[in-house]
Structure 1
Amino acid sequence: MQLVESRSIDYVPLAERHGKVWHLWPIWFSGDAHLATLATGAIGLAAGLGFGWSVLAILAGGALGTLFMASHSSQGPELGLPQMIQSRPQFGYRGALLVWCFALVTYIGYTVFNAVMFGVAVQDLSGTELSPGGLVTAFGLFTLMAMALAICGYDWIHLAQRVLAAVVIGTLALFSVGIWLVGGHSPQFVFGTFLPLPFLVQFFAAAGYQLSWSIYVSDYSRYLPRDVGITSSFWWTFLGAFIGGAWMMLAGAAAAALFPGKEIVAALISAGNLVFPHFGPTVVVLCALPLLTITTLNLYGGSLTLLSILDSFRHIANPGRARLVALGGLGIVSVWLAAFAGGNVLGLIERLLSVLIYLFTPWTAINLVDFFFVRHGHYSVREIFNPDGIYGRWNWRGLLAYGVGFLAMVPCFATPVYTGPIAHWLGGADVSMLVGLPVSSLVYYLACRSLDLAGERAHIEKADAGLEDDAEPSLAIDFDNALPEAAA
């Protein structure tokens, strides 16, 4: 295992593939089971939704978002590339900048939110309000620790997530059983009031939160051997992300139900102390550890996306060194923004998730349709890095489908700034995700009917034949038998 990973957005040759497909379970369980996810589970209750209805919204929304998120996981072993660079076949060499810029904003937004969440946890654990300078120091130390692991890279991130998964499972199991024994018959844990708007807000918050991981799922599966299979990579990712995310959201809902009106971390501390004295701070500390590593994932994925953007204008000659420079820049920007973010974690995550649903619903639909139903996994890595290659600089098909899908969602938007006519008619409910997914998928699929896929595959075979042993293996792959399941 390398001390510092040498690759970034370049292709991982077959000779360097390693790991087990089940490793995807802890990477995404720990990636979801942390304090930031806790806040997502309390959104419905804060809006007056009953506890039982919040549970249903969390489970249903989480399952929907994770379904699409986990579908991207199989792209890593098949393509050997990070997630965002794979958007070039759909949007073009330069056209992919559209989604990459959105993704970079997402990475920074989550890093800022996680730093703020960490600062709130420090204040709640210490019982004192930190000064502005103290908060910035806490943000900086938190980000530096996350950066240290991100610098080490892929293998160390996987190892850390496997260790943390065992720690968090034990913590959440003890918390869940304890809360059930102590407060299982509490009046706060009944179904309670059903309110359509808060139910939908909680549903799409859970769905959007899980969907937002789609932009870097295959970053953490791209080193796996190609023969791990589509089905196994999907299910290990789905179960890890869904169980980790839903469990932590439900813990947040339970804490918010027992202690309404309290800030969410303080509510978790109080709920944990009901199980036995001083257990609450222990829960917060142990659940803050994966908050640190998911920030690592955000910085790591953000650096790859930033390099993808830069590579569109100038080829990255030394991708390993460039990744370290990109990490440093993202860390500095994130700490600076965290200093201005404020401490309203519920409001911050709700605003962030609403934006993510709007930006990435069309992208995830286009990317998955292209991979599974149009090209069936047949891509040329050499051409992905060729600005004048078969995928073009600007691909009108992906850009058109994204634009139409996004515009179709606009009447369904429900934000403090703008409420669309459909959302207004539904009483303020935002159902844009349910519109954007099918519209973007259909428009892209129909636009691709004019593609000469047979000619494209012939070109791929010629362009990439025998490149596994090339002097530049970072651009080498052979897709002759890459996707027997998907191509069938």
Structure 2
Amino acid sequence: MPPHDSAKFVDAATQPETRGIELIGAGERHGRARDLFFVWAAPSVSILNFTIGATLVLLGLELWQAVLVVLAASALWVFPGVIAISGPAAGTSGSVITRAIYGIIGNKPVVAFTGWLIGAVFLALTWLASSFLGADLLAGMGLTDPVVVPIAVTLVISVLTVIVAVYGHALILRVYSWLAIVLAVIFVTVTAFILPQVDWSYHPAEPLTGVPLWSAVTIGFTIIASAPISYINSPDIARYLPRSTKPSHIIAATALGGALPGIVFTVVGALLATAISAEAMHAGIESALLGLLPDWLGPVLVIGVVVNTIALNGMTTYTSSMALQAIGLSIRRIPAAIVVGLIGTALTIYLVLSTSFLDAVNLMLQFLVIVSAPTMAVFVADVVLRRNRYDGVELFDEGRGGRFWYSGGWGIPGMAAVVLGGIATALCLSTEVWTGPIAEGLGYVDLSVPVGMLVSALVYAVLLRTRLGAHAGGITPPLAPPAG
């Protein structure tokens, strides 16, 4: 596909966006960095935050400990902000930009695996929340079929999500600011009814100390951190910004937009856990939450969850459709978005029929870091080491003589860093299904995220200085003038 053809693509909220990974010319750039704040805030006002916050208390943490964990893990939102600046620099999606890391051929399996796995997991998790809540709401109206109702809710929400993805960037930019405000009002109202029921003097029956305490702290950290480090698609949302946009503004808008709502409502989730029994939370935190609210507010919350789901998954489906193009499939962006939506719907229906919401969230978010921690770390390292110098035209040169052909099409430093970082992450991971030997040896302390990211970044930086890095073209020669 040609790098760009400005006559074919129009970025307007009133019509489907046909542009995919094609380059965005200077004359088509528009927008301000601060617009990104609301783009990331709308998906972050989520019932998943309530669930994750409650999990911290279920792990045995005291409230003040849970708050510190939330703040520490939320600081990782700076990483999606850092990689977002590569979008305006290159003028294309992140799934193309990473050719500079993994090579023309090597980038394809990495994007296919990370794009599909991360996209499918988040599509399924948030659709799952809406399915359970929507089914609870409809049960009050007499629709109680435990199979048909959740599946019907999932199908309706998935169709609306795909519509958002089809209309794409301009619609997301225009609508998400309003969605963020509406969602904030709904969740703040829900919070106002939760707070009077909070046990402010709450203490675990058996306060954790020593290794068990660090185990609970690190597992909680991993669950929360899995969200920000998974947003490797942030360059896709920022790529329309003028190249002259200050990188610091892009980083701040992206990081704060994602972090602030997450911090607030994850802490509320921890407080919520003191008002609900552990048995009720395991049976279904969404049902227990509705039981704390007045009758009129329950349906409003369900609507808010559905809106948040569409906001998050619309953006995920949008960016995942470009990942399909980046791996070399001859498919336009709109059909690709439909394919992504179908896969996410199928996974959601499977989860609806086979698991509880709380179990699905905790397990899938923890396993997600095996993929997301190393890929995010390497991307951040590349942006920093390259000083955000990316040439979009050269990124589309897929020939053997191209700059990013590297070693037979493979960027060995990037591939090695991701594989070794993934292994390190898995060795340090602690879940109910899998506990790595390092985590087990430390008493189930989960250091998967910091260790996995550190190993990946260090391996990448070191290998670039070896013959492998030199054979891959290195990173020191400038690819383009510095952005901004």
- Per the TM superposition, whether the score is higher than 0.5 is yes
Query: Are residues 4 and 405 of structure 1, via their aligned partners in 2, closer, same or farther at CA, if it must alter by over 3 Å?
Result: same
Per the alignment, residue 483 of structure 2 pairs with 483
1:150 equivalent in alignment to 2:162 = no
Match of 1:310 in 2: 328
Letter in 1 for 2:57: L
Query: How far is the alpha carbon of 1:382 from its aligned partner?
Result: 2.2
SS of structure 1 residue aligned to 2:98: helix
CA distance in 1, matches of 2:63, 2:124: 29
SS of the equivalent of 1:258 reads: coil
Per-residue deviation, 1:151: 0.6
In the alignment, does 2:38 pair up with 1:21? no
Selected match of 1:363 from 375, 393, 397: 375
Residue 339, structure 1, aligned to residue 349, structure 2: yes
The one-letter code of the counterpart of 2:243 is: R
Cα distance, 1:267 vs structure 2: 2.8
Aligned-partner residue type, residue 440 of structure 2: H
The residue aligned with 1:134 is: 149
Relative to 1, partners in 2 of residues 1:404 and 1:141: Cα closer, same or farther, differing over 3 Å? same
Residue 278 of structure 1 aligns to which amino acid in structure 2?
W
Alignment check: 8 A CA contact 1:371 1:377 kept: yes
Query: What residue in structure 2 maps to residue 4 of structure 1?
Result: 16
CA contact (8 A) 2:230 2:373 kept: no
Residue identity in the other structure for 1:95: G
User: More deviation in 254-263 or 160-169?
Assistant: 254-263
Aligned residue identity for 1:212: S
Match of 1:21, SS state, is coil
Partner residue in 1 for 2:5 = none
Alignment of 1:382-397 (within 5 A): 382-387=393-398, 388=400, 389-392=402-405, 393-397=409-413
Measure the CA separation in 1 of the matches of 2:476 and 2:200: 66
Cα distance in 2 for partners of 1:377, 1:67 equals 15
How many residues get paired? Answer: 450
User: Partner letter of residue 483 of structure 2?
Assistant: L
Output the aligned Cα RMSD. Answer: 2.5
The Cα of 1:219 is off from its aligned counterpart by: 1.1
How far has the Cα of 1:343 moved from its partner? Answer: 4.5
Structure-2 separation of matches of 1:459 and 1:245? 39
Return the match for 1:269 from 253, 278, 290. Answer: 290
Deviations 1:43-95 (A, max 9, x none): 222333333322221221122x2122221121222221112221111111111
Instruction: Find runs of 4+ consecutive structure 1 residues off by over 6 angstroms.
Output: 189-192, 455-461
Match of 1:473 in 2: none
Alpha-carbon spacing, 1:456–1:424, altered in 2? closer, same or farther (3 Å): closer
The answer (yes or no) to whether the contact 2:18–2:334 under 8 Å persists in 1 is no
- Of residues 79, 88, 95, the one that matches 2:106 is 95
Counterpart AA for 1:251: V
Compare 125-134 and 302-311 and name the one that shifted more: 125-134
Q: Does the 8 Å contact 1:32/1:248 carry over to 2? A: no
CA contact (8 A) 1:69 1:211 kept: yes
AA of the residue aligned to 2:224: A
Q: By how many angstroms is 1:248 displaced? A: 2.4
1:415 correspondence with 2:428: no
Answering whether residue 459 of structure 2 is matched by residue 443 of structure 1, we say yes
Query: 1:220 aligned to 2:237?
Result: yes
* Cα distance in structure 2, aligned partners of 1:300 and 1:449: 36
Please give the alpha-carbon distance, in whole angstroms, between the structure 1 residues aligned to 2:447 and 2:304.
35
How far apart in 2 are the matches of 1:457 and 1:442? Answer: 15
Residue of structure 1 in register with 2:249 after alignment:
232
Change (3 A) 1:75 1:189: farther
> 1:77–1:221: 8 Å Cα contact kept in structure 2?
yes
Query: Which residue pairs with 1:36 in the alignment?
Result: 48
**Distance (whole Å) between structure 2 residues aligned to residue 335 and residue 441 of structure 1:** 34
Q: Which amino acid aligns with 1:483?
A: A
What letter matches 1:295 in structure 2? N
Change (3 A) 1:391 1:428: same
Letter paired with 1:154: H
1:465 paired residue number? none
Cα gap change, 1:400 to 1:456, in 2 (>3 Å): closer
- How far has the Cα of 1:307 moved from its partner? 1.4
Q: Which SS does the other structure have where 1:94 is aligned? A: coil
2:201 to 172, 181, 187: 187
2:327 is paired with a residue of what secondary structure? helix
Deviation at 1:457, TM superposition (A): 8.9
Asked if 2 retains the 8 angstrom alpha-carbon contact of 1:51 and 1:190, the reply is: no
Unaligned runs of 5+ in 2: 1-11
The aligned residue for residue 391 of structure 2 is 380
Specify the SS of the correspondent of 1:394.
coil
User: C-alpha distance in 1, partners of 2:470/2:483?
Assistant: 19
For residues 187 and 426 of structure 1, the distance between their equivalents in structure 2, rounded to whole angstroms, comes to 31
SS of the aligned residue for 1:339 comes to helix
Structure 1 residues 360, 187: closer, same or farther in 2, change over 3 A?
same
Q: Secondary structure at the match of 1:340?
A: helix
SS of residue in 2 equivalent to 1:41: helix
Which structure is higher in helix share?
1
Shift in Å, 1:452: 6.0
Deviation at 1:258, TM superposition (A): 0.9
Instruction: Name the SS for the 2:293 alignment partner.
Output: helix
CA distance in 1, matches of 2:169, 2:175: 10
Q: Quick one: which amino acid aligns to residue 449 of structure 1?
A: R
Preserved CA contact (<8 Å) 1:404 1:440: yes
Which string of whole-angstrom CA distances, capped at 9 and with x for unpartnered residues, describes residues 338-365 of structure 1?
Answer: 2211341111111211122111211111
Kindly state the Cα deviation for residue 178 of structure 1 after the two structures are TM-superposed.
4.6
The equivalent of 1:327 in structure 2 is 337
Q: TM-score, normalised by structure 2?
A: 0.86
- Say whether residues 1:279 and 2:293 are aligned partners: no
Taking the aligned partners of 2:199 and 2:51, their CA distance within structure 1 comes to 24
Tell me which moved more, 429-438 or 35-44: 35-44
Query: Structure 1 pair 417/174, CA: closer, same or farther in 2 (3 Å)?
Result: closer
Q: CA deviation at 1:380?
A: 2.5
- Against the structure 1 CA distance between its residues 457 and 446, is the aligned structure 2 distance closer, same or farther, given a 3 Å change threshold? closer
Which runs of 5 or more structure 1 residues have no equivalent in the other structure?
462-478
Query: What is the letter of the counterpart of residue 211 of structure 1?
Result: I
